[in-house]
Amino acid sequence: MKVTLIDHTPDPEAKIGLAASICYDSKTDRESCIKRAAHCKDSGHLATLRFSYASLKIEGISRVCSHQIVRVAHAGILQKSQRYVKETQVKYINPPALDKVDLEHCAEWYRIQMMAEELYLRLVETKQMKKEDARFILPQGCETSLNMCMNFQGWRDFLKNRVSKHAQWEVYAVACEIQKQLHGIAPNIFDGVVSQ
């Protein structure tokens, strides 16, 4: 799994504080704006966080994980399309729990993945099915990637729900990496999103 910051509001905390200055008729120098942004976040004035955004590329995740991520209502999301992209040499994301499964079931797991990929490719290459229909046979563990864009209020909400001991292991790992990336550009806004 890899998360890469691909775009963001320049000097995001100063932009948030500048936008919020209208609410308080306050100073607009950079230092005051950065302090104000942190204060707005700490005091729950989270609408101010909508004035900065970040776009991230998330790679090497399963479609199981992506299905959980794409439910975020306020995010802009673009995902690798199995309708248009031919899946050759499919990579699978397997749960760590597979390491604890007995050898017989583990071998069957991998055999089913291989058989699904082989059938998919035969159907597509012989033109018996379009990619958009043949993809139905592929397991949800297929690796995918997506680009995701959201304002900082949305990102904080996303992280609050997914940097949690209750989150599914793969989504949790993605969320932790997203938090690291966002903390790098806005440490006062992403300085410890509270997990539930």
Give catalytic residue positions: 162
Closest to 8 measured CA to CA, from 191, 196, 184, 192: 184
Token digits of residue 180: 């690291």
Residue 136 CB partners (closer than 8 Å, separation 6+): none
DSSP-based three-state secondary structure for 56: strand
CB atoms within 10 A of CB 165: 7
Cα 90 to Cα 185: distance, rounded to the nearest angstrom:
34
Q: In terms of C-beta density within 10 A (0-12 exposed, 13-18 middle, 19 or more buried), how is residue 111 classed?
A: exposed
Q: Under a CB-based contact definition with an 8 Å cutoff, are residues 37 and 28 in contact?
A: no
Q: Give me the amino acid identity at 181.
A: Q
Residue 102 CB partners (closer than 8 Å, separation 6+): none
